[in-house]
Every structure is written in structure tokens, then in C-alpha cells.
Structure 1
Amino acid sequence: MLNFKYDIVGSFLRPEVIKQARANYFNGEIDLKALREVEDQAIADLVEKQVAHGLKFVTDGEFRRRWWHLDWLKEFDGFTTKHFDKVRNGVTHQIELGYIEGKISYDKSKSHPEIEAWDYLHNQAKKYDGVEAKKAISGPNMILVDHFLQLGTKNTSYYGNDIDQVIEDIGTAYQAAIQDLYDHGCRYLQIDDTSWTYMIDEQFNEKVTALDYKKEEILEWFRRASTKALEHKPEGMTIANHFCKGNFKGNPLFSGFYDSVAEIISTIPYDGFFVEYDDERSGSFDPWAVLKETDATFVAGLISTKNPELESREDIKRRYMEAKAVVGDNIALSPQCGFASVEEGNSIDEEIQWKKIDLLVSCKDFL
């Protein structure tokens, strides 16, 4: 089991060379091999920079992804996506949402881009002593969120309205995917799952009610799917959960406090919980006192990745100690989210991104 006191969530701002190469690829100007070569070099540079800035756990910055969640979910058979435009904050954005089109499963015999991405990151991390690679994937509940809640589709072409079998198959598919990552040397996995923060948002719960669901019913779906996914967790593998309140180009998607979800989340056998606490929208740390009864680490996301203002070390220490008084000694520090949940990135620049990383590392003396 890994022991950590500070860590990052995962994604980094895409360098211009990546953005240009992806644009060239989608315009048909370069092939996939050429795109991968650009990504490989950028990821190698990123890993080197993470180590130079004092990080002990490194990621590939999600440099190969368009979306934080869908690129991973496309690894599952029976799941696909659709594209459409959506106006948010007066701006029209290109949106992609997923839906269930067949039996959800994971075929380990297939070639998986996300496994290939992990292999490359893992090999890069091996170049540095005392450094561990971390893989971040989106969680099982995001399949349920997209199909049943975001798109509002009540049935599926394969399962009909048998939600119990949907949950069973999603959990089983995740078990196979987790084992595949383990077989490829992954010992630290982060499962990103904002489904929980959908359900603390009053406006989103109005949508849930309009779909003729109850909040408690949906939370039970999430608990079952997440618990099933971890049912055969490989020995020696650390699996943490991360959920923030949405991070679309630096804008939050949800608001609300964690009081109604903390207790049910704490029953899921994760080794750690990365939780957003970068501003007053998160409320108090009190709901997470339930973690004292578990072995899980509470990872306080006190450093904002969407606000360009640099936090003070004194304020971070004060709030960290407030959290520690509630959750106990199993506590660590992190940013509240990644720096680029989608390839466009948050509304900050690379200079402040690395200043935030330096701030994180500088806090290690009081963690």
C-alpha cells in the first residue's frame, strides 16, 4: 500500500505542441503515429518536469485525452457516445455524452489505447528513483450518469430497464479493467467520479426528480456499482477516489455540501478520497469525520486549479489543520482537481500551474 502526504489529481495544461498536433490529426494532415510521437515527447518532458518540481507520483497529464472521462469509458464494449452543441455561460460548446448500446464488458485480449498510454507513462517513471506512476480513470458511475441522468434515457436497447443487470455488468467490467492495469504494473490507481457531486446539487436533483427517480435510489446505484468494481481489488494496489464539483474549462458545474453523500461514500472500500475544498462552496469538513472509522486517507483539495490567484501557505496550513482535527491523522494534501479536465484547459497559464505545484510541495514540512 502506498503512503503519501501530498499528491496531484492528474491532468495538466496541454502544451501548444500537443494542441497543434491534435488539430493537424483531426484535419487529416498527420496520421495517428505522428500524433503519438508528439504526445510521447510531451509526456516524457512532463514527467521530467514533475520530478524536478518535487512530485513523487507522476501522471501523463492526460495529454492523450479529449475528455477526462469519455476517453476511458470508450474502452468498454457496449458503450458509445454522441456529439452535440450546448450553451453554457453564454458560450456554445461542443459536448459529447455517452450511452449504453449493448452489453457492458471489458475485453482484456483487445488492444486498449488507455493501457498503451499507461505502459508508456510507467516506463518513463522508471527512469527516476523514488518516483511512482499513477493512472487516473473515470469511474463506473459516469456510465450511469450519462445514459440515465444526463441524456435522460430510461431504457437501453440491450438491458431494457433492468438497472440491476446494468450495474452488475458495469462492476464486472471494471474488475477486468482494473486487473488489466495491475497486470501491466499499475499499483496506484485513481478513479475519478463526479457522480457524487451531481447529487449534492439542488438544480441537478430537480432534474432527477423530473425523471421520476429519487436521490436515495440514485445514490444506491452509485454505491453498488462502485463497490462491485472493487470487489476483486488486486492485493498491493492502492485505489483512491476523486470527485470535485465539475471543472469544465475552469468553471464549476455543481454546488452544494457533502453532508448527504459522505457517509455512503465512506462505505466503499477505497484507500483514499480526494475531495474538493478550495473555496466556501464546499462547506465544513465535518461530514468526513466518518472516515475515522476506516483506514482510508482523506486528501484535502485545498489548492484551486481553476482560480489563477495563488493561495498563501499560511491559509493552506490553517485549513489543513482544521481538516486534520476532523478526519484524524490519515490525511494528505492536493489540488482540488486537475488543471485540464478537457483539452482546452482551465483559465490559468502554465506559469501559475507550476507555482501551484511548488506551493503544494512546499507544504510537505507540516503534513
Structure 2
Amino acid sequence: MTVRPPFRADIVGSFLRPAELAEARRQHAAGVLRSDALRAVEDTQIERLVGLESENGLRVATDGEFRRSWWHFDFFDHLDGVEIVELDHGIQFQGVQTKPRGIEISGPIGFSAQHPFLAHFRALQDAAAQTGATPKFTIPAPTVLDFRLEPGHIDAATYDGREAITDDLVQAYRDALAAFYDAGARYLQFDDTAWAYLCSDVELAKARERGIDTDGIADRYASMLTRILDGKPDDLVVTTHVCRGNFRSTWISSGGYEPVAEALLAGTPYDGYFLEYDSERAGGFEPLRFLPEGDKIVVLGLITTKTGELEDADAIRIRIDEAARFAPLEQLALSPQCGFASTEEGNALTEDEQWAKIRSVVDIAGSVWG
């Protein structure tokens, strides 16, 4: 097994919310439970989760995103100059729509030391220290903010259009990386739906309707991420998870990685790439040929989090062998395709099924890489 993350058996990040936590969040939203009491419940449930992650064979620990309602909006809402506002529509998945929320740029974008996710990381770090696991913290990628912005939601007095936000967005993320590193973080992940949407003609058409110039957008995003990641400390591992949509076991994007593979795998300085490969919507493994030789790792998301049915281990090993035709086996790893609860609603499976999936990832990775 690898010593440096991403590990041969790894995870994307989120887990199903326990009933006690879900009830506490409902009471807090209703004004019945105070913030400090909710935080105490969160602390207890995260400590329990970290213990379960270790007991089920993982060497990495996340906080399950237990303090969040959304995988992305909670982070963006606490950036300077960014607000989450109510829209007249949500994000459309297959047959279901999210709550009607969107991003508003109301002032200069920045990252401050008061961002609550820094305290969230420190709490995870303390919990992980009890098990010896490596704490991994997830935040949404800057490309998500850019891609999800809708027309009329940028303050004209601050920025002259969409492209004008880029420099401040890059600096905000550079400041975020520095702050997390100073807090002790050595394993971060940028969760990113934008790259998956660039593989979909349907989503590209929607982006153009939102005023996004999609010509050359993959190279533009690669440049943005390179500006952020260049110069990061050598002992800070930053990976990305390319998500195809994960809300109540539904999805958004279809299309293989071929349109973006070179720009993403060869054109961005990530240390690892969590790629979803749990369905035919992801296409084949041929795009992995763009992975440069060296230390970069592609983590194959072959175990679905959308259903509780356990995959056949032999079939997964065969698929890993197929992927190894296009990228060296030593540069591959295994994980679930996504988190189990990208939003607090969670996917349609039980906690027992969730942990069976994790044990399967650990067992299969052990049998493949030793």
C-alpha cells in the first residue's frame, strides 16, 4: 500500500448522516437547539465516524462533511464577497431537483482566517490523531464557483463580468491552501463537477445559456488551477474528485473523459484524480493514457455509492486490470465513485450497506496492490 496519499484504498469524503445528527440539525434549523449544542452533537458523531473509518480498514479519515448541508455552498458562503441566495430553480438532476440556491458575487472575493472550515479541519485533525489516520479535508474547487454562476449574479460595481473575478478567486484559493497548511493539513481535495460537465454536450449547452464562453474552457480551468497549485508545499497533497452529480442517488452528467483528459490529467498539477467509473456513462479507460508517468495517482471510482448492492470483487479486479492497460498499475488506486451524502439528504442505501462498500474497497485494494 502507498504511504503517501491518495491511498490504494481511499474515499471521496462524505458519509450518510446518522439519525442523531440529522435530528439535531432539524432542531437547530427550527431554533430549538442552540449552536453550541449542535456543535457538541457534531463533534461526537465525527469522532464516532473517524473511529468507524479506522475499524473498517481505512488509513484516511474525513469528517463525513457532517457539519455541512451542501458539499459546496457551505464553503462558498463563507468566502468574502460571496453569498448563497435563493433562486427560482434548483439544480436539475435525473427526475429530482435540489433546493433553489445559487451563488451571488456581492463584493471582492477573498479567503479570511475566520472561515469556519479551518476550525472544522482542526477538529477532524484532533479526532484522526486518536486513530493514527491521515485527516483528509474536502472543499469545492474554484471551477465550480465559476461554472455555477448565473447571469446577473455578479456585482457590477465590483467586477466587470465573469472573467474579471478570476484573479481574486485564484488568490482566495492560494490563501486557503496556505491557511489549511498552517493549520496542519497535509491532504486536501478539491471536489469538482465542472470537468464532468465539460464532457457533456447537454451541460455545455446549459453553460452557454448562463453566459459562459465554453470555447477553450478546459484550458482556462487548467490554467486557473495551475496558478493556485503552483508553489504549494511539497508535503501538501492536493487531489481532485471529478463528480458527475450525486443527489439522492441521482446524477447529472454523461460522457467519457476524452474531451478533458489531456487538459485535466496532464495539464493540472494535482497529486491525484478521483474519477467516477461506476457506470457506462463514464465511458472507457482510454483517456487514462494522458496520465503522465511519475507520482500522480488516478483513483478509480468503481464502487458505486448510489445503491446498496455490493459489487462482485472479481469483476472490480478485472476492471482495474483493464484500466492498467492505459496507465501503470502503480499509479492507480480504488475508491467509491463519490461520497455517500454530497448533501445532508444522503443517498438511497443504509449505513450497514455503506460500510460494506468501504470494506469491499479495502479488501479489493489489498488483493490487487498487496
Fold-level match, TM-score > 0.5? Answer: yes
**How much has 1:211 moved relative to structure 2?**
4.7
What residue in structure 1 maps to residue 102 of structure 2?
A: 97
Return 63-72 or 153-162, whichever deviates more. Answer: 153-162
**How much has 1:28 moved relative to structure 2?**
0.5
**How much has 1:208 moved relative to structure 2?**
3.0
What residue in structure 2 maps to residue 342 of structure 1?
A: 343
Distance 2:211 2:45 in 1: 47
What residue in structure 2 maps to residue 289 of structure 1?
A: 289
What residue in structure 2 maps to residue 53 of structure 1?
A: 56
**Structure 2: gaps of 5 or more residues:** none
Deviation readout 1:295-319 (Å, 9 max, x if unpaired)? 3111100000012221010011000
1:2, 1:188 within 8 Å by CA — same for their partners in 2? no
Paired residue secondary structure (1:270): coil
Amino acid at match of 2:277: Y
**How much has 1:88 moved relative to structure 2?**
5.4
2:110, 2:172 within 8 Å by CA — same for their partners in 1? yes
Distance 1:294 1:170 in 2: 30
Paired residue secondary structure (1:326): coil
What residue in structure 2 maps to residue 362 of structure 1?
A: 363
Count of aligned residue pairs for this structure pair: 361
What residue in structure 1 maps to residue 148 of structure 2?
A: 146
**How much has 1:207 moved relative to structure 2?**
2.0
Deviation readout 1:44-71 (Å, 9 max, x if unpaired)? 0001111000100010000000000111
What residue in structure 1 maps to residue 204 of structure 2?
A: 205
**How much has 1:99 moved relative to structure 2?**
2.1
2:103, 2:153 within 8 Å by CA — same for their partners in 1? no
What residue in structure 1 maps to residue 249 of structure 2?
A: 250
1:272, 1:298 within 8 Å by CA — same for their partners in 2? yes
2:93, 2:251 within 8 Å by CA — same for their partners in 1? no
**Structure 1: gaps of 5 or more residues:** none
Distance 2:295 2:203 in 1: 32
Distance 2:116 2:154 in 1: 29
Amino acid at match of 2:31: G
Where do 1:1-367 residues align within 5 Å? 2-3=4-5, 4-84=7-87, 85-86=89-90, 91=96, 93-108=98-113, 110=114, 112-129=115-132, 131-147=133-149, 151-153=150-152, 156-211=155-210, 213-266=212-265, 267-293=267-293, 295-328=295-328, 329-363=330-364, 364-367=366-369
TM-score of the superposition, structure 1-length normalised? Answer: 0.93
Distance 1:296 1:158 in 2: 42
Distance 1:154 1:344, change over 3 A: closer
Distance 1:20 1:172, change over 3 A: same
Percent identity, aligned pairs only, is 36
Alpha-carbon RMSD: 1.8
Distance 1:46 1:323, change over 3 A: same
Paired residue secondary structure (2:241): strand
Amino acid at match of 2:123: Y
Distance 1:94 1:101 in 2: 21
Amino acid at match of 2:344: E
1:170, 1:229 within 8 Å by CA — same for their partners in 2? no
TM-score of the superposition, structure 2-length normalised? Answer: 0.93
Return 246-255 or 89-98, whichever deviates more. Answer: 89-98
Paired residue secondary structure (1:216): coil
1:102, 1:157 within 8 Å by CA — same for their partners in 2? no
Amino acid at match of 1:351: D
2:151, 2:211 within 8 Å by CA — same for their partners in 1? no
Paired residue secondary structure (1:48): helix
Amino acid at match of 1:21: A
Distance 1:91 1:236, change over 3 A: closer
Distance 1:361 1:55 in 2: 7
Distance 1:203 1:233 in 2: 35
Distance 2:286 2:326 in 1: 6
Distance 1:75 1:213 in 2: 24
Paired residue secondary structure (1:49): helix
Paired residue secondary structure (1:50): helix
**How much has 1:6 moved relative to structure 2?**
1.4
Amino acid at match of 1:215: T
Distance 1:88 1:281 in 2: 14
**How much has 1:10 moved relative to structure 2?**
0.2
Paired residue secondary structure (2:124): helix
**How much has 1:229 moved relative to structure 2?**
1.6
Distance 1:17 1:81 in 2: 27
